[in-house]
């Protein structure tokens, strides 16, 4: 198999794993494709953000800014099948109601959502809405209105792409560094942990996540620092209680670091850019 065809299969496996987007029927899925797919997680994040950004631009043009933000959020949730949000809710329930490793893992495996998960999910979605709602208001001085929507919102849209790419990169780094703790061979996330990415593949993931920063003011790259701190704090917490991570833990890392991205970008945009 050629290098390009293998990488294409890795990418399709990442799309199939992380989203509802239909891949070609001819795609010959194999577990080893999923094992190598993590390098493309940030790129899939860019794709998810692009769908959300399109919804934002259309709804914002014809209806209102607030509904455009809601449309952006709901579109990203629909494209991913609430994959990461479900993981976050499960983690809230598990660590809120469990006091031993066995109990935490048992609750996390339960498909039902409890009080902790409901409150956590409402909270994180509300915070995300409020943070994203603030970002378009900090357009640089001198930006001239244009009939081309991408020109009016270029920084905002680049930040959305970077948020989704870098938050998934943080989850990839957890896979690289920590141990997957479930023994269940039927777990969807277990193949991801079998073969850590090589350095060239990890660098590719970093490029896919960080390319939007090339078109933004350099201070925006500082968002990576608090994101990595939040990722490390979460991963250390998971390791303390259950000895490593699960797929739900990865979804939590993605959701929390995405929030940290928006908050940090907002502070940077307001005071330093």
Predicted confidence (pLDDT) per residue in 98-144, tens digit = 889 999 999 998 888 999 999 999 999 999 999 999 987 765 544 44
Comparing 35-49, 66-80, 126-140, 199-213, which segment has the lowest mean pLDDT? Answer: 126-140
Cα gap 215→158, rounded to integer Å: 8
- 2 within some domain: no
Question: Quick one: average pLDDT of 70-89?
Answer: 97
Cα 84 to the center of its chain, rounded Å: 7
- 97 within some domain: yes
The range of the structural domain enclosing residue 118 comes to 37-271
- 190 within some domain: yes
What does pTM read for this prediction? 0.93
Count of domains for the chain:
1
- 236 within some domain: yes
- 27 within some domain: no
180 beta partners: 245
pLDDT digits (tens, 9 = 90+) for 18-42: 999 999 988 888 888 888 899 999 9
Percent pLDDT > 70 in the chain is 91
- 5 within some domain: no
- 234 within some domain: yes
Cα gap 44→18, rounded to integer Å: 8
DSSP-derived secondary structure letter, 63: T
Q: Are 263 and 136 in contact (CB under 8 A)?
A: no
Cα gap 88→96, rounded to integer Å: 12
Tallying the residues shown for the chain, one arrives at 273
Predicted pLDDT of residue 143: 45
Cα gap 199→265, rounded to integer Å: 28
- 4 within some domain: no
pLDDT digits (tens, 9 = 90+) for 226-238: 999 999 999 999 9
């Amino acid at each position: 198999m050629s290098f390009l065809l293998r990488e294409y299969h890795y990418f399709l496996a990442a799309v199939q794993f992380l989203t509802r987007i239909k891949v070609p029927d001819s795609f010959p899925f194999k577990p080893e494709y999923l094992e190598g797919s993590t390098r493309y997680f940030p790129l899939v994040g860019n794709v998810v953000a692009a769908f959300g950004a399109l919804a934002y631009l259309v709804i914002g043009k014809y209806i209102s800014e607030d509904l455009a933000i809601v449309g952006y959020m709901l579109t990203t949730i629909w494209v991913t099948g609430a994959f990461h949000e479900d993981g976050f809710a499960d983690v809230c329930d598990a660590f809120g109601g469990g006091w031993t490793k066995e109990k935490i893992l048992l609750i996390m495996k339960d498909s039902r959502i409890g009080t902790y998960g409901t409150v956590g999910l409402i909270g994180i979605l509300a915070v995300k809405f409020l943070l994203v709602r603030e970002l378009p208001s900090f357009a640089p001085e001198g930006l001239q209105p244009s009939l081309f929507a991408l020109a009016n919102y270029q920084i905002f849209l680049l930040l959305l792409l970077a948020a989704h790419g870098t938050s998934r990169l943080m989850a990839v780094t957890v896979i690289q560094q920590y141990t997957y703790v479930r023994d269940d061979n039927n777990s969807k996330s277990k193949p991801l942990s079998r073969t850590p990415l090589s350095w060239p593949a990890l660098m590719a993931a970093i490029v896919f996540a960080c390319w939007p920063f090339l078109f933004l003011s350099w201070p925006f790259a500082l968002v990576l620092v608090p994101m990595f701190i939040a990722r490390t704090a979460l991963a250390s917490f998971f390791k303390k209680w259950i000895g490593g991570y699960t797929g739900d833990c990865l979804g939590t890392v993605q959701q929390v670091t995405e929030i940290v991205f928006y908050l940090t970008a907002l502070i940077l945009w307001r005071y330093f850019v």
